[in-house]
Amino acid sequence: MGSDMKLTGLASGFDWQPLVDKLIELESVPKQRLEAEKVRNNEKISELGILKSQLDTLNNSASALQNEDLFNARKVGISSSSSGFSASAEAGALTGDFEILVESLASKTEMSSRNRKIGGLAGKLNLGTALEDLPIFSRITKGTFSISGKTFSIDNLSMTLQEVIDKINATFAGVTGVNPESDSSGITLEYDSSSDRMYLDTNEQSPGASSRLPVLGSPTDTSNFLHAMRLLDRSVARRDADFEAGSSISIFNPGDGSKAWVHSSDSAVSLGVFDDRTFASFNGILHERTKVEPDFDSANAYKTGDRVYHRGFVYQSTADLPSASWLGTEKAVGDMVAHNGAYYQLLLDLDSSKVDSFSSVDAGDHSVNQATNPGTTTSSDAYKAGDVVKASDNTFFRAIKDRTHPSAVDWSGYSTGAGYSAPLASQGWSGNVPAAIFNLGRMYELSPSVTATEHAGATDVSIYSSANGWGDPISLVAGKSGATGAENHYFLPQTANWDNVNAHSAAASYSSGDIVLQGGKFWQANGNLTPSAFNSANWTDVTTSINDLANAGNGGLVDTFWTKVDLSAGNQTYWNEIGHADGATNFDSSYWQEIKPEMKRFDESGAGAQLNSIDYSIWAQVGSVGSDDGDGVWGNRDLGENAVPSDGNFTYDTWAGSASQGDYVHHNGNVYQARIATTSEPGTLGSEDNWHLVANVATIAAGTVTEQANRRRFTDTGFWSQYTVPDPDQNSGHWKVAQEMVITSSQPLGTVNMTVSLANANFASAFTGLSSGLGNFFIGEGEGAVRIDYDVNKDTLAGLIDRVNSSEANINLFYDPIGNRFVARNKDTGSIGITLHESPTWDTLAAASVNVGAGNILQLMGLADPMSISTSFSSSNLSSYTKGSFVSLSSGSITTYWQALQDAPTEGPSPVSTQWRQVIEGVGRTMESELGRNSSVRINGGDLVYSTDSDFDGNNHGYEGISFDVANVSIGATASFTVSKDTNAAKIAIDKFVEEFNDAQDYINSLTAVTQDGENVSSGRFTGNIEISRLSSQLRKVVFGDAQAHSASARTADGADLIINSNDGSNTEINNIATQLALNSSNNGYTIKVLDQNSSGNPAYFKWNGTSLSWESTTPAYSSFRLPDIGLDFGIGSDRLVVENSALLIQALSEKPEKVQALFAEATVEDAYDENTKSNRTYQGLSYALDDFISNFLSGDDGTGYKGAYETHIDSVKSQNERIDDKIAQLERYLESREEQLSAGFMKMEEMQSKLDTQLQTLQNSIPKKNK
């Protein structure tokens, strides 16, 4: 054990050290035993530590089941076809199907200077500035650029912008500007300082030609001039067009409004696109004729003062057009009516012009067998074509055909009794009936197909039966000539009886009275006859009786077979009256026409040909509007164009042998219009259908026949006068300034410089309100406002914008150099406004010298309204206000401020006006149109639900725990999802608990197990340890739980099928339930729990007796929900949990999650009264019971001082190790001493040996040596 280096046996020659070591080793055996025991103890501590870890893990897995979310977990199934839709549901969320209709998606509020400041924010260009110094977005470079193929160069950037413009607009060959085609129009470049843009004007002579814009640029260009001027974007603008030299557009001189100025929407005039006729140059500016008055419509009932447009001219009504509709009873000269969309005036006094009343024919006048009179028709004359008559209903008719019929038979002598005055069959009439007859003055025509066959007389043996073609009323029989009493009449066979008459048959039986034909005679049976040959003795000859037509109607046998027919004129079966004019609903249109507007002309030959031409000579068309084009081209304003043609300025054509359709001619005193192209001379016989009769000199109301015609053809001066169109500068609406298309800079050219000091940033206006260049503004108002300071001499716009965007104001500010606008945008979406101000007084806190603004940078940026608005509103100045104008409006002591939202507003400022916006000096607030949108959805077709972003949760829609995001769903699209119970998380937690429980049990078993392998027997380190050995069974007992149900536990069921609040002593409530549920014998045992029985405050149970069909009191059947109810149990003879039925666990989690939760996680309740045992008992879920047990085992109870089995074991083993350490220390001290003792003894021996050796040597040396 010594550490000193020793050399042993030097004196004695005996190496004694190994002997010492061996002796010490033998004496160290007790120490080695102690060290081995300590190792075993440390291994026990390690295994106990593993046991603790196992139990802690088990306890943690059990405690994890105390998470309520496990048993209320939800899963979401998305069935939406909208990609990008997401949804989630927290534990306990409402289950069900949800359909989401996205109505809008959230956007950000964006305040833009463009909505507040009209015109650019940057300063305009100075044409005298060198190109290199222009404050524009793109710096101009040297080189060449091309316009319409022509190339221009920029040699140095010290050139001014005006010099470049002058190059382009140089005059060559008398044409100013770029003129590659060498025509009369050159392309010029000009700068408009009001809009801060360049314009390329084509200077084309026609407004339509201005659409042919020049091509700019070339691949060989080396200068970016066109790009820098933003002309290559080919932005097209319309501006007031000027009059170009050489144009064919008319000059409008003051007072030219009486000429024909057509507008482009005139469908009656053939116009080309951008037709020059629709334009006029007034004071050098082109104006386009616009439609103000409606087109003339001949169907409209215009009133005095109404104005209409027709082919460039405007007319004003001087009198109301007729409002009365034509009735047919008008008769006085000058009567006016409206009819079929036109207006008419009666030119004749019809009563004076008529021949007579048509009813005069009933007295025998105007008989049709009389001739017509070429002169004036008298009562002795037949009516001729053109005669006018008055009907009994006071309507008037004109004959269109001569009313004569020379072959008509005078039927006035015919009567039913006497018949015709002569034998009918001897008159030579076709079919023995006259084709036409007349009775006094009326005329009739035989109905079609009526004929009469002459009767054969007394010996006639014809059978007039249906089979032989008789029976139709039009098939008559005329009495035989010479047969007195019959020859003047018509007869009709009675076929019903004739059909029973046949030739005699020997095979037939006959009854008395039957008639047969036999031997050329008719015979009547004297009695009933059996079949036999004819025997005249049995029959009577009745041939004469049947044919005795003269006695028809007197009751003889003849009446059985014949009926006398009345062929009087009034019998409409045989006669149709013709040529009559009894009234508007009863007249013969082959002979007569009602006198009415638009009536047709008549065939003057009297033949009655039906015509299509119109006769305006009785009812004249009036109220027309029309003009004369002069040369056939409307609206070219030649000398021939005439708004109101008259005899003084217009002459009708005369007949020249031919006419085209629509031509008017003045011929033989009348005015005609050709209905078709014709060579027939108007006014001659046979020409009537080719010509409309427009005016007849015999019936005119105007001074001349042509003036009468003008009232229809042109403008009726009785109703209309020309209206002079005001000059284009009179704002009457008849003109608008014409626009021409030009290529213009796509944006204003001047820009605000972001990188120089604010003072030099090229704002359009100057800074004001600063103190030594310092200013500030606020984002927000009041306590929440964020202050932004700036120094115009030091800060740049880029730095200021970054300061805003980095602040807590939660907005982003940016400048758009292309659009020349500033924008303040919320960082968050939603309908959330933005307020900016730099006012020193407006803020709520300004009175306390807080939030006091200074400067006007927000105004310069167009994000706040001016700090001072001094223009007072005046209603008389409305037309002068332009869009963007600011005015103040005072009412008493209150002054408000407003900005015009349009040019020339038509109403004054007010909160309801859409033409004005109320503003605040020095303040910028979000407009309604600038507000961002909220997302909005409908859930299951309900009301709109809103969110400021795309996420929706319970705070938005009320479905707690359910969230969804519609950011990637299109507006109008739907998304759907289902929220359902999710048993998976709880199952995993329970499975984990089972796994950890079994791992712990397996480890405990390994600590106490005794195993035998053949003759070898081994045991765990804690075999025989009571606490460890009992641990497995104790854990099993804890997890298995108390088999006796506690009534207050959520794990417990009381067997009730229904729970109600109360029931009275007569059991009224539960009896009603029995009735409602229709309980019967099959419901035996159905149990109801009453929470408050008979107002006692105590519960009661009632069970249905299926035999007595009544309720009886019962006690609850308590049962506890335990591990076997979820498919878990302990194996036989095992402390391990076994999953016996995994489906039970899933079923229980789905159907009874609250029971499963209570089984594992019901919190401990101590000394709770138990109705089941009638005692106070503690109940708890197994996770709490397991925690109590494991905690007690591992840590004990601080209250009682009990350390717990684990701690006790650890402490015991550690104490043993301490004692072992002490013993080892003692042994080590002994062995060290023992080694020193042995070594010292051997050392003394070595010393003695050395001394002896020395003495011996000395002795030997002292003895003399012998010589050899």
Q: DSSP string spanning 1079-1133?
A: --GGGTT-EEEEEEETTSS--EEEEEETTTTEEEEE----EE--GGGGTEEEPTT
Please give the Cα distance from 653 to 664 (Å, whole number): 7
Nearest CA to 389 out of 401, 377, 399 is that of 399
d(CA 516, CA 111): 117
Is the CB of residue 487 less than 8 Å from the CB of residue 479? yes
The DSSP output letter for 865 is -
- Amino acid symbol at 1045: A
Coil, strand or helix at 1227:
helix
Q: pLDDT tens digits for 37-60?
A: 778 878 777 888 888 888 889 889
For the record, the structure tokens of 150 come out as 């022509």
Neighbours of 1176 (CB within 10 A): 10
Positions of the chain with pLDDT lower than 70, given as ranges = 1-13, 80-82, 184, 204-211, 244-247, 1198-1201, 1265-1268
In the prediction, which pLDDT does 3 show? 43
- Contact predicate 526/539, CB 8 Å: yes
Name the burial class of residue 216, with classes exposed (0-12), middle (13-18) and buried (19+) by CB atoms within 10 angstroms of its CB: buried
DSSP per-residue codes, 166-192: HHHT-EETTEESB-TT-SS--BEEEEE
What does the alpha-carbon distance between residue 872 and residue 908 come to, in Å, rounded to a whole number? Answer: 12
Spans of all domains in the chain: 1-71+982-1054+1118-1268, 74-106+934-981, 123-242+738-744, 446-572, 762-930
Number of H helices, E strands in the chain: 19, 69
Distance from chain centroid for Cα 1185: 63
What pLDDT does residue 531 have?
Answer: 95
Residues 605-663: tens digit of each pLDDT: 999 999 999 999 999 999 999 999 888 888 888 888 899 999 999 999 999 999 999 99
Map 232-251 to HEC letters.
CCCEEEEEECECCCCCCCEE
Q: What is the dihedral of CA 1228, 1229, 1231, 1234, to 10 degrees?
A: 180
Helices (H), 936-1012: 954-957, 984-1008
What is the distance between the alpha carbons of residues 316 and 721, in angstroms, rounded to a whole number?
Answer: 5
Q: Helical H runs in 233-322?
A: none
Q: Give pTM, 2 decimals.
A: 0.53
Q: HSE, CB side, 13 Å, CA atoms: give it for residue 538.
A: 20
| Segment holding 563, helix H or strand E | strand 562-565
Cα angle at 156 between 153 and 160, to 5 degrees?
Answer: 90
Please check whether residue 901 is in contact with residue 915, taking contact to mean a CB–CB distance below 8 angstroms. Answer: yes
d(Cα 646, Cα 649) in Å, to the nearest integer? 5
Number of residues that this document lists for the chain: 1268
Structure confidence at residue 194 (pLDDT):
86
Least Cα distance to 1083 among 1059, 1109, 1061 occurs for 1109
286, 738 Cβ separation under 8 angstroms: yes
Q: What share of the chain is helix, strand, coil (3-state, %, to 5)?
A: 25, 25, 50
